[in-house]
A and B are shown apart, each in its own frame.
Chain A
Amino acid sequence: MLGFVLIFIAAFFFPGLILRTKSIFSGRKGPGIFQPVKDIVLLLRKGSVFSKTTGFIFQIAPVINLSAILCAILVIPFANQKAIISFEGDFVFFSYLLALGKFFAIIAALDAGSSFEGMGASREAFFSMLVEPAFFILLATFAMFTGYTSFSGIFSHFFITGNHYVLIYSIIGFYLLVQIAMIENSRVPVDDPKTHLELTMIHEVMILDNSGFDKALIHIGSYLKFAIYGALLYNVIVPAGWNIWLQIVLFLTVQVAFAIIVGLIESFRARNKMNLNPKFILVISAIAWLAFIIILILTDKLI
């Protein structure tokens, strides 16, 4: 339960921190940390404008997307506490549930019948399809490393397997999770949420026709998703057995650091050319394969 609350708290200030970092590094005064949350509150109070082309898919998609993300949080553990719901292979459920949300986001974009939104939908479907294997390889190697097949099992035993090279593994896991998080959340280098031209967008162009309440739901969903990946990152680098108060402080620190990293990447790195994105994502999968080979060596199966 604690993890659930903490993820919400992290999601609360996460987008603001990214914005703040970016504005500092680009030498602007920039909005306050809570500006994105204020925007959401504003949107929640508004009515909506719907396209005449759209039907009920467009109406239910943001709700389903947010519900999927909310339920996905339930399987994420925190510290030594088990997740609210935990079972073997729960990360399969996690991944497929997020995919369900994405499915609806994509068809909602196609529902508007605009070529821009169709383009965004096509890209989103294509890139998230490519990144799926990387996530599964990573989780498979975790499962192999610890001998457990649930998020809770894996992370509570991550640092007590008795393997001295766990730090290497922790670093690789951290790196891969950051990359996967950037792709899943449509951030630089795959997508730039602040780009000004519809032709170069991915996620933003999909939600061109959403407004008011629905748009707020979509934003809440994407902030929560960031916090979820932040929580996974935290679990990979902090041993589960430590004192709980220290854990809470560390959790928030990791989330802040993650937000700042995202801000830094977005400040100093340009977005990839669109046709290089598949290669970029496939390289992530290749690195995940490398991680797998390392785990084979660490568990004495290879050599």
Chain B
Amino acid sequence: MVFLPWIMNALLFLIVSSLTFLIFILPKTYKYYYTLFLLAVAVTLSSIWSFSILSGNNQTPELTLELPVIKIGLVFTIDSISAFFILVINITVLVGFLYARGYLEPYYKIKNALRFSIHYFSYLWLYLSMIMVVMIREGLSFLIAWEIMALSSFLLVIFDAEVRTILKTGINYLIQMHVGMFFILLAFLIVDKATGQMSFNALGLYFSNHSNILLFILFFIGFGIKAGFIPLHTWLPQAHPAAPSHVSGVMSGVMIKMGIYGMLRVLMSLQNDLLLIGIIILVISLISGVLGVMMAIVQHDLKSLLAYHSIENIGIIGIGIGLGVIGLATHNTALSMLGFSGGLLHVLNHSLFKSLLFYNAGSVYHATHTRNIEHLGGLMKKMPYTAVLFLIGSLAICGLPPFNGFISEYLIYAGMFKSLSIANLYQSILVLGTIVGLSLIGGLAIFCFTKAFGMVFLGEPRTEKATMAKEVSQEMIYPQFITVAFIVLIGLASAFFVKPVFTIISRAFNLSYVAPVTEHAISNLSQISLLSGIFVLVVILLLLYRNMHLKTKPVSYCPTWGCGYSVVTSRQQYTATSYAYNYNHLAKPVLQTKKKMEDIREDEIFPEKRAFESHNDDIFKKILIDKPVDWVSRLLKRIAVMQTGRIQHYILYAFVYMLVVFLLTYFNLI
């Protein structure tokens, strides 16, 4: 009965995909609206699919769309997990594109039409490929969609390709994505060899009679590079700052989650080795979470700070998933239910607040042309909307109530605390370690975002650039209200959003006997909603009272207290570096801060002008990327001795080659 509409839907989807090519021939001014139109159609279509799946009552609903036009066997299959990810993608991609209109405005004059065509085209295809990634089970088509995703995001990152470093970063990104793809391909080939089928559906068959851990590790590396788990994260803090802000928002908000999706898909078919796999995921996620935020604190570039926070949040998602797997292994339903659900909900939450933060970092860049935190300050008075939006994003990412970040972290905490009393020795130690890690991540995130928000938006402007800043256009601000609405709604009416997540998880991992756990959790969440509501009410009432009170009393304004010193300049303010000074001292072993300063010579009676410079390196990038690349390029340089540029030498090489071939054939060696 429902069959006919699906066919039509699928056809429409294909039509949208083929219509994207028209972007290239449209006049410059229409390109944006045309892209928006196509995007809106595709978003509506895929949302209808997702809702019909999520609202279905049967236990494991799946939708299969066989595309009649293509004979290569493109089959779209949507189950609950895919539906969830489609909705997450839809929100962020749509808001990102609405925001892009204002963000790209200044570029209209300086970049030609082709550049915009490529940009919009890649944006659409990034969206379409992500939708396809979550809908395709068959290995080869999946890898093709995965590849389109990498290519289109590469094109999006290098929008500003005139800047050399951006092009270089883009190429670095492209290479790392292909390394990741190689691992996924390898894993699929192994499955193909063993089962004769190259598909996610064949994983269950493979896992039931082969070692689980090895194949899982291959998949984990492949998907982990996309997701940005430490130490596979090195592309992330470089690519995000290089990309335009709406692209960073989409990449960090949803594209890296495709790695999480892939992991979940693999985990769903696992048969044994569950405990070990769970512990591996958990430990790597903990490391990612803690180190990610530790490195975020010392960043000066606002967007690379946010990028390191993506690593932290991927860590939190991973902690949830790892706990879920451990729960599966130990038959602890509460732990696996709450862990998986917390992780999955955090996917949604992170896509919301991280994209919001990236958009506002973009607005700051738009208004001041700098992303260096040390050059900003006092923007709140000049850009009040941006400041408030950034503040909401910061509070949410720190996991503070009454916003959405708290709900997902709470679910993970709840699962851990619940399982403490029934866990055995090693599990209790592991769980306690995770609790400590998660609470430390929370504290560090607060440290980081008080710094970021305080230095960028509060105090006095530190440079001319910040002084001249103006609020960005309304076109850039209004779309973000959609994101904020979700952030607040999930925070205040959490039960409404968590219920479907529970259903998705119980369907995906066959956790059938979970009713008591979920009912408990839902009632706890409604208590949280109640308490959050009371909190908001108390804040409003107190503020009203305070305003009424201050109206009747004398209020005066004067300069900030300077401890008796009256000629204060904005340069005397605490900077981001000084704010993190104490912390830097403690985190020295992890951070490798490099300082550059000339000492004052003994014979220097009147010291000359001096500069001090401090710089934080990413150790993992140094060890895993820079050193091997250095080594290889040195080797290649040595080989390059042969490249003399003389035609005689090259003829000699050819002659030697022929001689060798001749001799080898003569002795029957080849």
Interface residues of chain A, those whose CB is within 8 Å of chain B, are 46-57, 59-60, 63-64, 66-68, 70-71, 74-75, 85-90, 92-93, 95-97, 99-100, 102-103, 106-107, 110-119, 121-123, 125-126, 128-130, 132-133, 135-137, 139-140, 143-144, 146-147, 149, 198, 208-209, 212-214, 217, 275, 278, 285, 292, 296, 301-302
Contact = CB atoms under 8 A, between A and B. Distances in A.
Given A100-B400, A103-B398, A106-B454, A87 B561 contact: no
A125 B450 contact: yes
B574 A115 contact: yes
The secondary structure that dominates the A interface is: helix
Interface of B: 377-378, 380-381, 391, 395, 398-401, 406, 409-410, 413-414, 416-418, 420-421, 424-425, 428, 431-432, 435-436, 439-440, 442-444, 446-447, 449-451, 453-455, 458-460, 520, 523-524, 527-528, 530-531, 534-535, 538-539, 542-543, 546, 549-550, 553-563, 568, 570, 572-574, 578-583, 585-586
A85 B436 contact: no
Given A57-B380, A136-B439, A147 B421 contact: yes
A151 B425 CA distance: 24
B542 A63 contact: yes
Contacts of A130: 443
B531 A110 contact: no
Identify which of B395, B455, B459, B572 gathers the most chain A CB atoms within 10 Å of its CB. B459
B406 A96 contact: yes
A107 B454 contact: yes
Contacts of A149: 414, 417-418
Contacts of A147: 421
Contact of A47 (B424, B523, B553): B553
B542 A66 contact: yes
Nearest to B530: A85
Contact of B395 (A86, A100, A125, A143): A100
Contacts of B578: 118-119, 122
Contacts of B534: 71, 74, 85
Given A53-B559, A136-B435, A301-B425, A113 B420 contact: no
Given A63-B542, A66-B542, A278 B406 contact: no
Contact of A103 (B380, B414, B446, B585): B446
A289 B90 CA distance: 44
Contact of B562 (A47, A95, A114): A114
B455 A110 contact: yes
B325 to A, nearest CB: 21
Q: Sort A-B residue pairs by CB-CB distance and give the 9 closest, nearest first.
A: A118-B574, A110-B454, A129-B443, A113-B459, A47-B553, A87-B527, A47-B554, A51-B560, A132-B443
Contact of A292 (B432, B443, B558): B432
A111 B379 CA distance: 11
Contacts of B572: 115
Contacts of A56: 380
Contacts of A119: 574, 578
Contacts of A47: 550, 553-556
Contacts of A132: 439-440, 442-443
A114 B378 CA distance: 12
A292 B531 CA distance: 30
Given A74-B534, A278-B582, A113 B557 contact: no
Nearest to B405: A96
Nearest to A108: B458
A111 B458 contact: yes
A107 B531 contact: no
B450 A213 contact: no
Contacts of A214: 546
Contacts of A115: 572-574
B421 A133 contact: no
B460 A213 contact: no
B334 to A, nearest CB: 10
Nearest to A129: B443
15 contacts: A47-B550, A47-B555, A53-B560, A74-B531, A86-B527, A88-B520, A96-B401, A103-B395, A114-B562, A129-B440, A144-B421, A213-B549, A214-B546, A217-B542, A302-B425
Identify which of B420, B543, B560 gathers the most chain A CB atoms within 10 Å of its CB. B560
A54 B442 CA distance: 27
Given A60-B543, A107-B453, A198-B563, A278 B586 contact: yes
A93 B410 contact: yes
Nearest to A75: B531
B458 A67 contact: no
A76 to B, nearest CB: 12
A126 B582 contact: yes
A85 B557 contact: no
Contact of A88 (B414, B431, B455, B585): B414
Contact of A89 (B413, B557, B563): B413
A214 to B, nearest CB: 8
A149 B420 CA distance: 9
Contact of B442 (A99, A106, A140, A208): A99
B418 to A, nearest CB: 6
B204 to A, nearest CB: 34
A43 to B, nearest CB: 11
Contacts of A128: 443, 446
Contact of A63 (B444, B451, B539, B579): B539
A96 B542 contact: no
Nearest to A147: B421
Contact of A144 (B406, B428, B555): B428
Nearest to B442: A132
Given A63-B546, A71-B534, A125-B447, A113 B560 contact: yes
